[in-house]
């Protein structure tokens, strides 16, 4: 019986090749196994660095759409889908963004977050319908995440995004050449070449690490460009638990030199809004003036102080 076209397609993927360095990993000691994993992992950031020009363009696109009121929507399956969910879920507490600003879809829905739903990724129509349910529009950006680059659920979501005029990003550890051979494209192809996995086909390893790094870059750089930091300190966090309340006070103290009681007092005046507290203390402004300056500076603390 001849091999199927799907067999040949998958067999030719960079993510499915055998790593020549680890062919005897089953005979290695525990420390040797760990060194093999670690040696391979050290190459991942360098592979991501090679993709910085494309990541830069993708971030600029995301920032532009955010300024129009658009959203960043991730779509993935398995490990890739879970990475999208992690990145999206951490934006509101870290940067004070509304939950709908960065969202994530995973093949198989909520159950797939905790337990693999293997067949779910094979349905492009599910990716399309899940995205359509979010009323995707041209001001949104849709980012597919797929180690192989060919996950049907992800491709279905990207096709639906294109149909509605939304820019598309594909984060994959497959090569551009392989994607072109398969007829797969997106407005921004981010393709770090991490090489074969330590365990053949286990894309939760180097591929997953590369994807996590790229997603961190996309949202972190976008949030910095939106004025969510002062220097390298996050200043738009939400004080949703005791730890974050104390972190907000520490941020105000570190940046302004205020003592604990003064930082607490000013944060209470602002309703827990760290940016306003910073402008009040650093610029010696009252609450009303600080708010006006922040609004005029589109939320950038540094610009509000320099105005």
Domain CATH for 245: 1.10.8.1080
CA distance 174 to 281: 50
CA distance 252 to 274: 7
Domain assignment present for residue 133? The answer is yes
- Of the listed 9, 16, 64, 90, which one is catalytic? 90
| C-alpha closest to that of 104 among 23, 219, 185, 235 | 219
**Does residue 121 carry a catalytic annotation?**
yes
Tell me the pLDDT of the chain (307 aa) as tens digits: 355 677 766 777 777 789 999 999 999 999 999 999 999 999 999 999 999 999 999 999 999 999 999 999 999 999 999 999 999 999 998 898 999 999 999 999 888 888 877 777 889 999 999 999 999 999 999 999 999 999 999 999 999 999 999 999 999 999 999 999 999 999 999 999 999 999 999 999 999 999 999 999 999 999 999 999 999 999 988 777 888 899 999 999 999 999 999 999 999 999 999 999 999 999 999 999 999 999 999 999 999 999 7
- What is the number of domains present in the chain? 2
**Residues 287, 191 share a domain:** no
Domain assignment present for residue 51? The answer is yes
**Residues 121, 67 share a domain:** yes
**Residues 180, 48 share a domain:** yes
**Residues 269, 177 share a domain:** no
pTM above 0.95, yes or no: no
Q: To which residue do tokens 């090489």 refer?
A: 195
- Which long-range contacts link 285-288 to residues 24+ away (Cβ below 8 Å)? none
**Residues 202, 53 share a domain:** yes
- Choose the final residue of a domain: 167, 200, 225: 225
**Does residue 90 carry a catalytic annotation?**
yes
Domain that holds residue 278: 229-306
How many CB atoms neighbour CB 182 within 10 A?
Answer: 16
- Of the listed 121, 160, 246, 306, which one is catalytic? 121
**Helix axes 78-95 and 206-225, enclosed angle (nearest 10):** 30
- The CATH number given to whatever domain includes residue 57 is 3.40.50.10490
């Amino acid at each position: 019986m001849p091999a199927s076209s799907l067999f040949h397609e998958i067999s030719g993927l960079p993510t499915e090749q055998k790593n020549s360095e680890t062919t005897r990993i089953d005979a290695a000691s525990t420390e040797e196994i760990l060194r093999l994993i670690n040696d391979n992992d050290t190459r991942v950031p360098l592979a991501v660095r090679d993709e910085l020009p494309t990541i830069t363009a993708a971030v600029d696109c995301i920032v532009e759409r955010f300024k129009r009121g658009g959203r960043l929507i991730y779509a993935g399956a398995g490990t890739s889908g879970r990475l999208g969910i992690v990145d999206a879920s951490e934006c509101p507490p870290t940067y004070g963004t509304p939950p709908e600003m960065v969202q994530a879809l995973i093949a198989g829905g909520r159950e797939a977050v905790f337990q693999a739903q293997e067949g779910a990724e094979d349905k492009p129509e599910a990716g399309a319908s899940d995205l359509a349910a979010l009323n995707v529009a041209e001001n949104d950006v849709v980012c597919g995440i797929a180690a192989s680059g060919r996950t049907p659920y992800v491709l279905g979501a990207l096709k639906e995004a294109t149909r509605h005029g939304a820019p598309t990003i594909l984060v994959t550890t497959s090569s551009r050449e392989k994607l072109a051979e398969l007829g797969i494209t997106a407005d921004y192809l981010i393709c770090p070449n991490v090489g074969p996995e330590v365990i053949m086909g286990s894309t939760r390893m180097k591929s997953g690490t590369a994807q996590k790094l790229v997603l961190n870059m996309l949202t972190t750089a976008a949030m910095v460009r939106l004025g969510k930091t002062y220097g390298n300190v996050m200043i738009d966090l939400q004080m949703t638990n005791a730890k974050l309340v104390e972190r907000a006070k520490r941020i105000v103290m570190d940046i302004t030199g205020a003592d604990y009681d003064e930082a607490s007092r000013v944060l209470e005046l602002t309703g827990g809004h760290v940016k306003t507290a910073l402008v009040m203390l650093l610029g010696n402004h009252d609450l009303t003036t600080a708010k006006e300056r922040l609004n005029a500076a589109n939320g950038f603390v540094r610009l509000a102080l320099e105005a």
